[in-house]
Amino acid sequence: MAVSSRRAGGVVGSVRLLRSLQHQDGRLFSTSVARHTAGSEGQPPKFVPPSKPVIIDKAKSQASLRQFLSPEFIPPRQRTNPVKFAMERKDMIQRRKILNIPEFYVGSVLEVTMLDPHAASKTNRFVGICIQRSGKGLGATFTLRNIVDGQGVEICYELYSPRMKHIEVLKLEKRLDDNLFYLRDALPEYSTFDFDMKPVHLSPTQDVPVNQIKVRMKPRPWSKRWERPKFNVQGIRFDQCLTPEQMEHAQKWAEPWRQYDMLKEYDTSSVEEKILQEVQAELNK
Amino acid sequence: MRQWLCFFILVIFIPAVQCVRTIKTSTWWDEHLTEDNANVMRRAVAEEYKQLTVDRLNPLKDEPWPRHEWDEKSRRVGLVAVKLGMMPVWTKSGERHVVTMLQVQDCHVIKHIPKEEYNGRTAALIIGAKNSPPFYRTEESLEMFRNAGVPPKQKVTTFHVTDNAVIKPGTPLYAAHFRPGQYVDVTAKTIGKGFQGVMKRWGFSGQPASHGQTKTHRRPGSLGPGGDPAKVFKGKKMPGKMGNVFDTAFGLKVWRVNTKANILYINGSVPGHRNCLVKVRDTILPHRLEKNRNPPFPTFFADGDEELPEDLYDENMFQFGEPIPG
């Protein structure tokens, strides 16, 4: 209530200022004046903030916008008929025309609203950091983690579920790893995000920043032995929780021949380009 | 000397016992062709079949057979399809189910066997699916396809059919033969697992891993009662070759039918590996028969009057073009 009266006072003040200016100048156009809704008699008019102008900078061409193909579009390397992937892609594009699924990576902070028939307001809102993106095609999922009232909560959402109402990226960034399961054993400050966090704007031409943060861990034992080379974790401060001898001991489980395994190579660049063009053409129709 | 040598060699190479397999009078198709010509033949045949599929031509030039009305006792033909893969599907209330996608590729009726010739009770229709090249096939096998006016097929099966559901040989069959909301049975050869032990093959629980078990963790244990029968009964579940046998999944719901690409979306899983050929027919489960009333009978004819939309959905299924409520 105090806030609204302060806002109303501000508007009334600005209205008076504008009116006085108008009298002086005569050329002033009133944009914000008309923006307050007519309140009920006696009540000050409610302030409705002006809509943000969408600036389409024609100088910056399409080429400088960063291209992003969501990883669930890339088909896995299997002996499956490509007709199956084509049918799934059609359904995914149809859904994306209705619900905007933004570009995000593991490590970005997202806000998700789902339809919930049992909730009072019929919706269900959650904010968290994305720790995993898995699944291909229509069954693609992502997991958000946050700490609510001292309790860590992870929720796995399906991107193409009909219960998804709204997905928004509050902070778009990448991390040093492609899954952040080690946050379960890290100090809680690294997984806490305010539910009313304000979105951090990133220009569509800029490269997505990589957060080089190295996380401090709770004392061992952890849920997994993150120091072992198979997890290949870059984002933990091992020097603060492990001795050099323990690090060396973990290297015993290293498998240095895996980098030469040719069967594990899957170069998706050409496939990605074709699918990206197809998806962009369909979405722009 | 040379004559002696030839005679000696001849004597060695004629086998003592004449076995049928070694003496072949016919040649294979590319024996007298150069490699280039053989490749040209292969490509020509492949292109011709692709064109036939795309054209959706009905090879029947003269009168089709009379169509009858569906009634409770009639059984109509099934289809043969290719298993593509699986994907999720959601209902309008948000429940998630999984479906298998089966694509009907070049399904044609090849032959009709009347009741008297088949088993005295029901007529049969022989269906073929998925065009395959005519090379490496005997003339006898190709004759059946030539009579129907249809390219040779990879899989040929029989469906039992009532007399009012017979279709003229050569008629193409499409995925719109089945409609969403219907229930089907799917038969296919299961994935072969090779020689498997009793725990995987029959689901026995085996023995504990520790607490003194000597060399016995996955064995069948006792084979039956003791001295009274003094034998092991026939059919005792024991280790052996598992899989690679025909198995049927009953009562699967059809969620969606794509008429353009001829794809059926069928609930749950289906036996067989990806890209295997499966036999799809109307359910015989008595409690699902009410859902299969008034199907396209005897089949869906593409050159008929019915104009179907590209996708047919079940009424409960969530379609991705629907707007977000609220």
Task: Transcribe B63-110 into DSSP letters.
Answer: PPPPP----TT-----EEEEEEEEEEEEBTTS-EEEEEEEE--SEEEE
The CA distance from A198 to B178, in Å, is 52
- In Å, how far is A88's CA from the nearest CA of chain B? 8
User: Rounded to 5 degrees, what angle do the CA atoms A63, A69, A72 make?
Assistant: 175
On chain A, the residues whose CB falls within 8 A of the CB of B323 are 98
Report the residue from B85, B93, B324 with minimal CB separation from A165. B324
| The length of chain A, given as a count of residues | 285
A178 contact B CB<8A: no
Q: pTM for this structure?
A: 0.82
With a cut of 60, say whether residue A102 has pLDDT above it: yes
What would the pLDDT profile of B81-102 be if each residue is shown by its tens digit? 999 999 999 999 889 999 999 9
- The answer to whether the CB atoms of A98 and B322 lie below 8 A apart is yes
A91 contact B CB<8A: yes
Q: How many CB pairs under 8 A join A and B?
A: 66
For residues B44-68, give the mean pLDDT: 82
B160 within 8 A of B122, measured Cβ to Cβ: yes
Q: Which of A1-5, A261-265, B6-10, B299-303 has the highest mean pLDDT?
A: A261-265
On chain A, the residues whose CB falls within 8 A of the CB of B101 are 84, 87
With a cut of 90, say whether residue B306 has pLDDT above it: no
Sign of CA dihedral B146, B148, B150, B152: negative
The CA distance from B65 to B153, in Å, is 23
The CA distance from B79 to B102, in Å, is 10
What would the pLDDT profile of A133-178 be if each residue is shown by its tens digit? 999 999 999 999 999 999 999 999 999 999 999 999 999 999 999 9
Residue in B101, B320, B324 to test binding to A, most A beta-carbons within 10 Å: B320
A53 three-state secondary structure: coil
A83 contact B CB<8A: yes
Report in angstroms the alpha-carbon separations of A66 from A63, A159, B76, B78, B296: 8, 22, 56, 51, 51
With a cut of 80, say whether residue B178 has pLDDT above it: yes
Q: What is the pLDDT of residue A5?
A: 45
Report the residue from A81, A94, A123 with minimal CB separation from B84. A81
What would the pLDDT profile of B115-130 be if each residue is shown by its tens digit? 999 988 999 999 999 9
B211 three-state secondary structure: coil
With a cut of 50, say whether residue A58 has pLDDT above it: yes
Task: Transcribe A4-19 into DSSP letters.
Answer: HHHHHHHHHHHHHHHH
A184 contact B CB<8A: no
How much of chain B, in percent, has pLDDT values that exceed 70?
91
Residue in chain B lying closest to A159 (CA): B88
The residue with tokens 């209330």 is B93
- The answer to whether the CB atoms of A138 and B82 lie below 8 A apart is no
Q: What is the pLDDT of residue A10?
A: 46
B101 contact A CB<8A: yes
On chain B, the residues whose CB falls within 8 A of the CB of A87 are 101, 258, 261, 263
The CA distance from B304 to B177, in Å, is 13
Residue B183 DSSP symbol: E
Per 3-state DSSP, chain A is made up of helix, strand and coil in percentages (nearest 5) of: 35, 20, 45
With a cut of 60, say whether residue B16 has pLDDT above it: no
A131 within 8 A of A198, measured Cβ to Cβ: no
A138 within 8 A of A86, measured Cβ to Cβ: no
Report the residue from A80, A94, A115 with minimal CB separation from B85. A80
Residue in B258, B265, B324 to test binding to A, most A beta-carbons within 10 Å: B324
Separation of CA B222 from chain center = 39
A224 contact B CB<8A: no
Q: What is the pLDDT of residue B14?
A: 54
- The answer to whether the CB atoms of B92 and A162 lie below 8 A apart is yes
Report in angstroms the alpha-carbon separations of B118 from B79, B155, B160, B270, B298: 20, 20, 10, 29, 20
The CA distance from B73 to A244, in Å, is 80
- End-to-end distance of chain A based on CA atoms, in angstroms? 46
What would the pLDDT profile of B199-238 be if each residue is shown by its tens digit? 999 999 999 999 988 999 999 999 999 999 999 999 999 9
The residue with tokens 């000397």 is B1
